Structure 1
Amino acid sequence: MSNPNDPRLTDGSVFPDPVYKETVLRPLFDGAKTHHVAAFGAIDRAHLVMLAETGILPAADAGKIAVARAALDTEIDPATLTYTGEVEDYFFLIEKELKARVGAELGGRLHTARSRNDIDHTLFKLGLRARLNLLIEQAIALHGAIVAKAEAESATLIVAYTHGQPAQPSTLGHYLSAMAEILARDIQRLFEAYRIVNLSPMGAAAITTSGFPINRERVAELLGFAAPLQNSYSCIASVDYITSTYSAMELMFLHLGRPIQDLQFWTSFEVGQIYVPNALVQISSIMPQKRNPVPIEHLRHLASQTVGRAHSMLTIMHNTPFTDMNDSEGETQETGYQAFEVAGRVLTLLAALVAQIKVDPARVASNIRRSCITITELADSTVRREGLSFREGHEIAAAVARAVVAAEGDLTTDGYAPFVTAFKHATGRDPQIDAAAFAQITSPEYFVAVRDRTGGPAPEALAQAISGYKTQNAGFAAQLATLIATQSAADADLATAFNLLKESA
Structure 2
Amino acid sequence: MPETAATADTRTPSGRLALAASSQQIALGPLDGRYQSAVAPLVDYLSEAALNRDRVAVEVEWLIHLTGNSVLPGAGPLTAEQQEKLRAIVTEFDAGSVAELADIEAVTVHDVKAVEYYIGRRLPAIGIEHLTALVHFGCTSEDINNLSYALGIKGAVEDVWLPAARKLVAQISAMAEANRAVPMLSRTHGQPATPTTLGKELAVIAHRLNRQLDRIARTEYLGKINGATGTYAAHVASVPGADWQHVAQSFVEGLGLSWNPLTTQIESHDWQAELYADVARFNRILHNVCTDIWSYISIGYFVQIPVAGATGSSTMPHKVNPIRFENAEANLEISSGLLDVLGSTLVTSRWQRDLTDSSSQRNIGVAFGHSLLAISNVAKGLDRLKVAEDVLAADLDTNWEVLGEAIQMVMRAEAIAGVEGMENPYERLKDLTRGQRVDAARMQEFVQSLGLSADAEARLLALTPGKYTGIADKLVDHLA
TM-score over 0.5 for the alignment?
yes
Q: What's the offset of the Cα at 1:187?
A: 1.2
Q: SS of 1:291's equivalent?
A: coil
Please report how far the alpha carbon of residue 413 of structure 1 lies from its aligned counterpart in structure 2 after TM superposition: 3.2
Alignment correspondent of 2:332:
303
Amino acid at match of 1:302: N
Q: Give a deviation string over 1:382-421, Cα, whole Å, max 9, x none.
A: 333464799822222223325961xxx52x2332234556
**Cα separation, partners in 2 of 1:39 and 1:261, compared to 1, 3 Å:** same
Match of 1:208 in 2: 231
Q: Is the 8 A contact 2:284 2:332 kept in 1?
A: yes
- Which structure has the highest helix share of the two? 1
Post-superposition offset of 1:146? 1.9
Instruction: Describe how 1:338-487 pairs up with structure 2 within 5 A.
Output: 338-354=366-382, 356-371=384-399, 372-385=401-414, 387=419, 392-402=424-434, 405=437, 410=439, 412-419=440-447, 423=450, 437-441=459-463, 443-448=464-469, 451-452=470-471, 457=472, 459=473, 461-465=474-478, 469-470=479-480
Post-superposition CA distance 1:279-325 (Å, at most 9, x none): 39852111122221211111211211221111121243365325333
CA offset at residue 164 of structure 1? 1.7
Structure 2 equivalent of residue 489 of structure 1: none
Match of 2:163 among 118, 124, 137: 137
- Comparing 72-81 and 163-172, the one that deviates more: 72-81
Counterparts in 2 of 1:261-340, with a 5 A limit? 261-268=291-298, 271-279=299-307, 282-317=311-346, 319-329=348-358, 331-340=359-368
CA distance in 2, matches of 1:369, 1:263: 22
Q: Is the 8 A contact 1:420 1:431 kept in 2?
A: no
Which residue identity lines up with residue 120 of structure 1 in the other structure? N
Distance 2:214 2:278 in 1: 9
Are 1:109 and 2:134 matched, yes or no? Answer: yes
1: CA distance, partners of 2:332 / 2:446: 48
The change in CA–CA distance for 1:88 and 1:65 in structure 2 (over 3 A counts) is farther
Residue in 2 aligned with 1:94? Answer: 115
Per-residue deviation at 1:112?
Answer: 1.7
Q: What's the CA shift string for 1:221-259, capped at 9, x where partnerless?
A: 43222x42222x267241202211211111111122112
Query: Does the C-alpha gap of structure 1 residues 403 and 307 become closer, same or farther in structure 2, counting only changes over 3 Å?
Result: closer
1:169–1:374 contact (8 Å) kept in structure 2: no
SS of residue in 2 equivalent to 1:241: helix
In the other structure, the counterpart of 1:152 is 178
CA contact (8 A) 2:270 2:346 kept: no
Task: Give the distance between the partners of 1:446 and 1:106, measured in 2 at CA.
Answer: 78
In 1, the alpha carbon distance for the partners of 2:268 and 2:280 equals: 20
SS at the partner of 1:462?
helix
Alpha-carbon separation, structure 2, partners of 1:168 and 1:388:
27
Is it true that 1:47 corresponds to 2:62 in the alignment? yes
Larger RCO (CA under 8 A, 6+ residues apart): 1
Contact in 1 for aligned 2:396/2:466 (Cα 8 Å) = no
**Structure 1 position 80 matched with structure 2 position 99:** yes
Residue 254 and residue 369 in structure 1: after superposition, are their counterparts in 2 closer, same or farther (change >3 A)? same
Letter in 1 for 2:424: E
Give the residue type in structure 2 aligned to 1:77. G
Amino acid aligned to 2:214: Q
Instruction: Specify whether residues 293 and 126 from structure 1 end up closer, same or farther in structure 2 by C-alpha distance, changes over 3 A only.
Output: same
Offset, 1:68: 6.6
Q: CA deviation at 1:69?
A: 7.4
2:283 to 253, 258, 262: 253
Please tell me whether the aligned partners of residues 249 and 259 of structure 2 are also in contact (alpha carbons under 8 angstroms): yes
| Cα deviation code 1:322-359 (max 9, x no counterpart) | 53332112x31121211111111222332343455332
* C-alpha spacing 1:356/1:129, structure 2 compared with 1 (3 Å): same
Letter in 2 for 1:246: Y
Q: Describe the SS at the equivalent of 2:300.
A: coil
SS in 2 for 1:292: coil
- Structure-2 residue corresponding to 1:38: 53
TM-score (norm 2): 0.75
Match of residue 230 from structure 1: 261
Contact 1:189 1:248 in 2 (8 A): yes
Note if contact 2:180-2:197 (Cα within 8 Å) is conserved in structure 1.
Answer: yes
> In 2 relative to 1, CA 391–74 (structure 1 residues): closer, same or farther, beyond 3 Å?
same
For 1:61 and 1:403, the matched residues in 2 are separated by 84
Does structure 1 retain, via aligned residues, the 8 Å contact 2:123–2:132?
A: yes
Distance 1:352 1:88, change over 3 A: same
TM-score computed with the length of structure 1 as normaliser: 0.72
Which secondary structure does the structure 2 equivalent of 1:230 belong to?
A: coil
- Aligned-residue identity in percent: 18
Residues 81-121 of structure 1, C-alpha deviation per residue, up to 9 Å, x if partnerless? 54563112232223334444557874222122222121111
Q: Deviations over 1:13-32 (max 9, x none)?
A: xxxxxxxxxxxxxxxxxx97
Aligned residues of 2:176 and 2:476 also touching (Cα < 8 A): no
Contact 2:411/2:452, CA 8 A, preserved across alignment? no
CA distance in 2, matches of 1:180, 1:235: 41
Q: Is the 8 A contact 2:335 2:371 kept in 1?
A: yes
Counterpart of 1:473 in structure 2 is none
The RMSD of aligned alpha carbons is 3.3
**Residue aligned with 2:187, SS:** strand
- Residues 306 and 343, structure 1, Cα contact 8 Å, conserved in 2: yes
Gaps of 5+ in 2: 1-45
SS in 2 for 1:159: strand
> 1:497 maps to what in 2?
none
CA apart distance, 1:44 = 1.6
Compared CA separation, residues 291 and 70, structure 1 to 2 (3 A): closer
Q: Which amino acid aligns with 2:143?
A: D
TM-aligned CA distance change 1:186 to 1:115, over 3 Å = same
User: Residues of 1 paired with 2:122 and 2:313: CA distance?
Assistant: 63
> What is the match of residue 215 of structure 2?
189
- Aligned partner of 2:35 in structure 1 is none
Give the Cα separation in 2 of the matches to 1:126 and 1:200: 9
Q: What is the distance in 1 between the residues matched to 2:352 and 2:208?
A: 35
Return the offset for 1:463. Answer: 4.7
Do the aligned partners of residues 361 and 59 (structure 1) sit closer, same or farther apart at CA in structure 2, a change above 3 Å counting? Answer: closer
Q: Distance in 2 between matches of 1:230 and 1:307?
A: 30
